[in-house]
Amino acid sequence: MSFKIVILPPYQEPEWPSLIEQAIEGVIVKAFNSVEAALSDLYDADAVYGTIPEKFFSYAKKLKWLAAPQAGLGGKWFYKNLVESDIIITNIRGVYNDHLSAHIMAFVMMFARKFHRYFEYQRESRWGFVEPAVYLPDSIVIVIGVGNIGSEVAKLCKAFGMKVFGVDPCVDENLEYIDELYQPEMLDSILGKADFVIITTPETPKTIKMFDERRLRLLKKTAYLINTGRGSSIVLDDLVKVLEQKKFAGVGLDVFEIEPLPSDHPLWKMSNVIITPHIAGTMLDKNVKERRTKILIENCKRFSKNEPLINVVDKRNWF
Interval 209-221: pLDDT, tens: 999 999 999 999 9
> 196 with 104: CB under 8 angstroms?
no
Q: Which residue in the list 103, 230, 257, 292 is annotated as catalytic? A: 230
Which residue blocks in 113-223 are alpha helix, DSSP H?
115-123, 148-159, 187-191, 213-216
Rounded to 10 degrees, the C-alpha dihedral 110/114/117/118 comes to -90
Residue 172 scores a pLDDT above 80: no
Respond yes or no: is residue 103 known to be catalytic.
Answer: no
> 317 with 205: CB under 8 angstroms?
yes
CA 265 to chain centre: 23
Phi/psi for 311 (5° steps) reads: 60, 40
In 3D, which of 194, 189, 223 has the Cα closest to residue 111?
223
CATH 3.40.50.720 region(s) of the chain?
4-94+285-304, 97-275
User: How far is it, in rounded angstroms, from Cα 197 to Cα 84?
Assistant: 35
Respond yes or no: is residue 203 known to be catalytic.
Answer: no
The pLDDT assigned to 284 comes to 65
Q: Which residue in the list 278, 291, 298, 302 is annotated as catalytic? A: 278
Share of the chain above pLDDT 90, in %: 91
Neighbours of 132 (CB within 10 A): 7
What Cα–Cα distance (Å) separates residue 57 from each residue in 31, 39, 50, 103? 17, 10, 12, 36
Q: Calculate mean pLDDT across residues 299-309.
A: 98
CA 257 to chain centre: 13
Residue 236 scores a pLDDT above 80: yes
SS3 state of residue 92: coil
Residue 171 scores a pLDDT above 80: yes
Mean pLDDT (the chain) is 95
Q: Calculate mean pLDDT across residues 23-45.
A: 97
Q: Say what the pTM is.
A: 0.94
Residue 225 scores a pLDDT above 70: yes
Q: Which residue in the list 259, 290, 307, 316 is annotated as catalytic? A: 259
| 97-275 classified as CATH 3.40.50.720 | yes
Respond yes or no: is residue 152 known to be catalytic.
Answer: no
In 3D, which of 250, 233, 71, 234 has the Cα closest to residue 149?
71
pLDDT band at 264 (very low <50, low <70, confident <90, very high): very high
Q: Calculate mean pLDDT across residues 15-25.
A: 97
pLDDT band at 1 (very low <50, low <70, confident <90, very high): confident
Residue 74 scores a pLDDT above 90: no
User: How far is it, in rounded angstroms, from Cα 17 to Cα 30?
Assistant: 7
| Helices and strands (DSSP H and E) totals, the chain | 10, 12
The pLDDT assigned to 283 comes to 65
Q: What's the CATH fold of domain 4-94+285-304?
A: Rossmann fold (3.40.50)
Share of the chain above pLDDT 70, in %: 99
Q: Calculate mean pLDDT across residues 60-80.
A: 93
Q: Containing H/E element for 80?
A: helix 80-83
- pLDDT tens-place string over residues 177-213: 999 999 999 999 999 999 999 999 999 999 999 999 9
Write the CB contacts of 286 (distance below 8 Å, at least 6 apart in sequence): none
